[in-house]
Amino acid sequence: MTTFAALLERQLRTDPGRPLVTWYDHASGERVELSVTTYANWVAKAASLLADEHDLERGQVLHLDLPSHWLGPVFLGAAWTVGLVVGPADHPDAVVCGPDGLATWAARAGELPVLACSLLPLGVRFADPLPPGVHDVGVEIWGQPDAFVPFDPPAPEDLALPGVPQAELWRTAAAGSLLTDGGRLLTEANPASPPEIASFAEPLARGGSVVLVSHSEPGRLEATYVAERATARFP
């Protein structure tokens, strides 16, 4: 396992129909499940949006200002497919944010691409107009192709995170201890936040899946664990 693209391609060859990312919002009752194939389709569209629509190139930094949500793993995969570094908020070349980040990032929309996600069901557009210069992911992503081939593909030594090459990220994930191979991890962590990125990276590397839970309710968390046939928890 050397790059994200190589890892995902292997998963598509071996078991494309299995669930990969399942997301619950206990507050709204929403549930979204992405199979390996559906996840790969979203990643391709998001990668095309980043590279072809907004001219982001291998080695540039993408900051993800997203809560725990199924779009977090999608934009992680898109970034690594293009060869972007998922980095902090201090000096990004582009930002993907949710509604809570609009006030922070709209002021910088004139100097870098700011892509906003409504986080509404099915990834649809914002109901209200966005600030000038901010791009609505729910509008722009649907017109992107279902396949993406980077002009300048990332190599194993290209950074996935600051100081962490793609090859190292996937070696570490494959050797992790959160779950066994093929396991199903239930977590309240936010994989779009680098300190908690193992909550997605390890299930992907080990042929498993992740169940993300937002706004968790203690009484429902155990029921979700059982209903989703999870095998491990994090944290």
pLDDT at 146 over 90: yes
Q: Which of 40, 47, 42, 41 is nearest to 62 (CA)?
A: 47
pLDDT for 176-205, tens place per residue?
Answer: 988 999 999 999 999 999 889 999 999 999
Task: Tell me the percentage of the chain whose pLDDT exceeds 70.
Answer: 100
Average pLDDT over residues 200-219: 95
Share of the chain above pLDDT 90, in %: 96
Mention every residue, 6+ apart, whose C-beta is less than 8 A from residue 53.
140, 144
Provide the domain count of the chain.
1
What CATH number does the domain containing 78 carry? 3.40.50.12780
Q: What is the DSSP letter of 63?
A: E
**Residues 33-82: tens digit of each pLDDT:** 999 999 999 999 999 999 999 999 999 999 999 999 999 999 999 999 99
**Strands in the chain per DSSP E:** 19-25, 30-35, 61-65, 85-86, 94-97, 114-116, 135-136, 159-161, 164-165, 184-187, 209-214, 232-234
Spatial separation of the C-alpha atoms in residues 189 and 212, rounded to whole Å: 7
On the question of pLDDT at 217 being above 80, the answer is: yes
**Residue 15: domain span:** 4-234
Average pLDDT, the chain: 96
Looking at residue 224, its pLDDT comes to 97
Question: 147 and 47 in contact (C-beta within 8 Å)?
Answer: no
Task: Check if the beta carbon of residue 21 is closer than 8 Å to that of residue 70.
Answer: yes
* Residue 217 to residues 31, 104, 230, 232, Cα–Cα distance (Å): 15, 29, 17, 18
Q: In terms of Cα–Cα distance, which of 111, 96, 104 is closest to 50?
A: 96
The whole-number average pLDDT for the span 134-147 is 97
pTM above 0.95, yes or no: yes
